[in-house]
Each structure stands twice: as C-alpha cells, then as structure tokens.
Amino acid sequence: MSVIYLCMRRCSTRRKTSGGGLDCLLNNAGISVKKRGDLLDLEPDSFDQNIAINTRAPFFLAQAFSKRLLAQPKPEAELPHRSIIFVSSINAIMLAMNRGEYTIAKTAVSAAARLFAARLCNEQIGVYEVRPGLIKN
C-alpha cells in the first residue's frame, strides 16, 4: 500500500469524524541530501531518495487531492477557497552546487506547482508555491 494512499485514507477518515470537508492541501515534503558534495560524485541512492520524497510524493498527493476536489460540486463563491500549496525551496531558482539532488527535486516541485495551477485554475482551485530560503537556527 502506498504512502500516498495511506495519507489520503487518513485524511478521509478525519474528515468524516470531524464532520467537515477537506479544501486545502499543504504539500510540504522534504529531506536534505545524504551527503553534500560535488555533483559529479552524486550517488544514485541519494538522488532516488530525494526525488521519491521531495518530488514524487508531493506530485501524487496533489494529484489524488485534486481528483477528490474535482469530484465535489464547485463552490458558488467566485474566489477559489479550495487550494493546494506546494512548499518547494529557494533552490528551485538558486542553485545549490553541493546539493544537486535536492536542487533538482525542488525545481521539479516548482514545475509541478505551475502545472497544477494551469490545470486547475478553471476549476476554482487555487494552486500556490512557497519557496523558503535558508533559515538560521
């Protein structure tokens, strides 16, 4: 059973027990690289893990969530109150040479956000992207 399926099932169960509906997905998946270093030394397993968690999971979760929203009647309000928010990274536009797999994965998330926005704009579903930068803690 996929993680996306389990997540959607859990959301559906909570929706039923709370008596409300789901109208917003905050799509925030992310891991860093296993080891920072030169792009030419990138290991396939680190690349695959970054793509799986940082790109694949948010894409298919947004896809499943979108299908659920489209199965519901459109809201009567003109402004979209149904939404999907992708959290990508500033690395979608600013290269991190020592974290190539992360930069590639978050760039793909940024593209996915734009694709979903274009696909869902006429369905009264707003799609947004947040690109946080480095946070000193």
Q: Mapping DSSP to helix (H, G, I), strand (E, B) and coil, where does residue 29 land?
A: coil
- Position 62 scores a pLDDT of 97
Q: Judge whether residue 112 has pLDDT over 90.
A: yes
Q: Average pLDDT for residues 3-25, to the nearest whole number? A: 69
Q: What are phi and psi of 47, to 5 degrees?
A: -60, -50
- CA atoms within 13 A of residue 135's CA, in its CB half-sphere: 4
Q: What is the CATH number of domain 3-130?
A: 3.40.50.720
| Residue 81: per-residue pLDDT | 82
Q: pLDDT digits over 15-74, tens only?
A: 666 666 789 999 998 999 999 999 999 999 999 999 999 999 999 999 999 999 999 887
Look up residue 77 and give its two tokens.
Answer: 């309000």
Domain limits of the chain?
Answer: 3-130
